[in-house]
Structure 1
């Protein structure tokens, strides 16, 4: 198991988290995934969504980089955290069961695991 898979497995340990993946923010390429990968969605769709939100924030005058995006459906939280890596950022994406998840706790845990991905 490489460092990325180990970090993703750590993120999967949060209560209610069903699947976690590491995606290239520019190309949508999946580097690693653990858990229920069907629940995660396609990497290129995630990258496009984050890019669109970042562009809209910049147009609205928001200064700084996008840190995370949370999309909540009736059953799931889809959480995407940007992992800065020079000019080529990564996306740490997780899907969590809405009924079994403390969203704030999962987001904090994902932020900790995002640091571990780069080591």
Structure 2
């Protein structure tokens, strides 16, 4: 757990990211969270719904990321594979404090290093 919390601390150093969590993609269990990561518990359900609808639309690729936007935040969910079932790196991004493209670039870099 200490390693995950250290990784999430690094995620929170990205300007505008106010919360982060690592969530099991199968069960929805949160392994670790820091900051304002309240939406992380819903991320598992959002990924399941999106994946189902993509499959129904004929998409056969693996789901890589989802961004849900509200008036004040972006809720970003990235799938992080580790040999078995992936985990989800979830982040809450303050829309007024950052550029979404920069935040996504940093989150992808953190996701790559998360389980290395």
Q: Is the 8 A contact 2:66 2:76 kept in 1?
A: yes
5+ residue gaps, structure 1:
none
Count of residues in correspondence between the two structures: 116
5+ residue gaps, structure 2:
none
TM-score norm. by structure 2 comes to 0.91
Q: Which runs of 4+ in 1 moved over 4 A?
A: none
Q: Which residue in the other structure is 1:14 paired with?
A: 14
Residues 1-119 of structure 1 aligned to structure 2 (within 5 Å): 2-37=2-37, 40-43=38-41, 45-119=42-116
- What's the secondary structure of 2:15's corresponding residue? coil
Q: Is the 8 A contact 1:20 1:33 kept in 2?
A: yes
CA root-mean-square deviation? 1.5
Question: Shift in Å at residue 61 of structure 1?
Answer: 1.3
CA deviations on 1:2-25 (whole Å, 9 max, x unpaired) are 322222111111111110000001
Q: Distance in 2 between matches of 1:90 and 1:100?
A: 27
Distance 1:55-1:81 versus aligned 2 partners, 3 A rule? same
TM-score norm. by structure 1 comes to 0.89
Question: Shift in Å at residue 54 of structure 1?
Answer: 0.9
